[in-house]
């Protein structure tokens, strides 16, 4: 039982980070109706940014969170303005191909300039473990989960208590009605893509404290994010948050009960069963 409890705790901790990643992806989908296949690669860039700031300037990954958020926000705005906006009025397949192309380019460009080698930040200001009733808590993972909760809470507050946030929700609910009411939907698209990318930058800094960093790390997290967004309900931020925790727990506990090699397959099996019963997702 103690080992199972350990797996549950670990699942919740990684699930909270998944939730933050999925919120960024579902925000983009809800507002723009576009699946950003480069979401995982944005995470990779955020992780590398934290790594190089730590290696070259001695900046702890947690202190690099604001820099990551700003850098990924600007990158997201740039990619939307000069690439994705060009195909927004085109067929949906063109939008998918464009984001998929950005994903392939970013991953391979990173491998070209940084090599495919694995990197790891061995020591941060929050290192070590805590022992609580026989359960071992990794301090970096706990800090990452707390950071994810705070960031997710800030997003919820922003969307519901600011003028811009309410405009984003209005466009998500009904784009045509929002346009009639005078909301600049093109500006909202750009902001939403930038905010979604900034959230990935925050998650990248948090993950860099305890996860291996390499150019193709985004592929793994990207697939899991798509599963979480679909499980929670496309466009539902609350659903993404809940589904992220569920996926984290299922992944870790499933890997313990069966085999770690099958933990991702177990997640997708759970997703298939869920959408078979409830196609719109948990909160769709």
pLDDT(220) > 90: no
d(CA 208, CA 217): 11
The H or E element that residue 14 is part of is: helix 2-32
45, 49, 43, 53: which is closest to 20 by C-alpha?
A: 43
Q: Using pLDDT thresholds of 50, 70 and 90, give the confidence band for residue 216.
A: very high
d(CA 98, CA 105): 11
- Name the residue ranges covered by the structural domains of the chain: 2-121+141-277
Class of the CATH domain delimited by 2-121+141-277 = mainly alpha
d(CA 138, CA 279): 36
Map residue 122 onto helix, strand or coil: coil
Average pLDDT over the chain, rounded to whole? 91
d(CA 226, CA 20): 13
83, 90, 89: which is closest to 36 by C-alpha?
A: 83
Q: What is the sign, positive or negative, of the torsion defined by CA atoms of 176, 180, 181, 186? A: positive
Question: According to the model, what pLDDT value does residue 284 have?
Answer: 67
Residue 160's CB is within 10 A of a number of other CB atoms, namely 10
Question: According to the model, what pLDDT value does residue 157 have?
Answer: 96
138 phi, psi to nearest 5 deg: -75, 120
pLDDT(158) > 90: yes
Residue 105's CB is within 10 A of a number of other CB atoms, namely 12
Q: Using pLDDT thresholds of 50, 70 and 90, give the confidence band for residue 134.
A: confident
Residues 6+ apart with CB under 8 A from 226: 25, 35
Q: Using pLDDT thresholds of 50, 70 and 90, give the confidence band for residue 261.
A: confident
pLDDT in tens, 11-60: 999 999 999 999 999 999 989 888 899 999 999 999 999 999 999 999 99
Tokens of 146: 């707390």
Residues in the chain: 284
pLDDT(167) > 90: yes
The H or E element that residue 165 is part of is: helix 163-173
Residue range 61-74: average pLDDT? 96
d(CA 278, CA 271): 10
pLDDT(211) > 70: yes
The H or E element that residue 242 is part of is: helix 237-257
- Asked if residue 76 lies in contact with residue 192, where contact means CB atoms within 8 angstroms, the answer is no
Q: Using pLDDT thresholds of 50, 70 and 90, give the confidence band for residue 259.
A: confident
Least confident of 39-43, 159-163, 208-212, 280-284: 280-284
The H or E element that residue 275 is part of is: helix 263-277
257: left (phi over 0), alpha (psi -120 to 50) or beta: alpha
């Amino acid at each position: 039982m103690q080992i199972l409890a350990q797996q549950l705790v670990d699942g919740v901790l990684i699930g909270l980070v998944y939730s933050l990643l999925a919120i960024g992806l579902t925000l983009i989908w809800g507002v723009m109706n576009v699946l950003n296949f480069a979401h995982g690669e944005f995470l990779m860039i955020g992780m590398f940014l934290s790594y190089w700031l730590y290696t070259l300037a001695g900046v702890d990954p947690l202190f690099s969170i604001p820099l990551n958020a700003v850098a990924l926000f600007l990158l997201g705005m740039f990619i939307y303005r000069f690439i994705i906006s060009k195909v927004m009025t085109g067929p949906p397949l063109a939008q998918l191909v464009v984001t998929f192309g950005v994903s392939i380019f970013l991953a391979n460009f990173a491998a070209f300039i940084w090599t495919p080698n694995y990197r790891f930040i061995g020591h941060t200001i929050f290192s070590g473990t805590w022992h609580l009733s026989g359960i071992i808590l990794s301090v970096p993972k706990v800090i990452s989960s707390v950071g994810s909760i705070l960031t997710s809470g800030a997003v919820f507050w922003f969307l519901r208590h600011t003028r811009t946030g309410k405009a984003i929700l209005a466009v998500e609910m009904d784009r045509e009605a929002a346009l009639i009411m005078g909301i600049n939907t093109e500006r909202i698209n750009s902001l939403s893509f930038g905010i979604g990318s900034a959230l990935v930058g925050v998650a990248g800094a948090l993950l860099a404290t305890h996860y291996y960093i390499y150019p193709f790390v985004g592929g793994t997290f990207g697939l899991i994010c798509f599963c979480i967004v679909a499980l929670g309900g496309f466009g539902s931020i609350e659903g993404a948050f809940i589904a992220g925790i569920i996926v984290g727990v299922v992944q870790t506990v499933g890997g313990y009960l069966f085999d770690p090699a099958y933990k991702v397959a177990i997640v997708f099996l759970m997703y298939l069963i869920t959408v078979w019963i409830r196609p719109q997702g948990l909160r769709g």
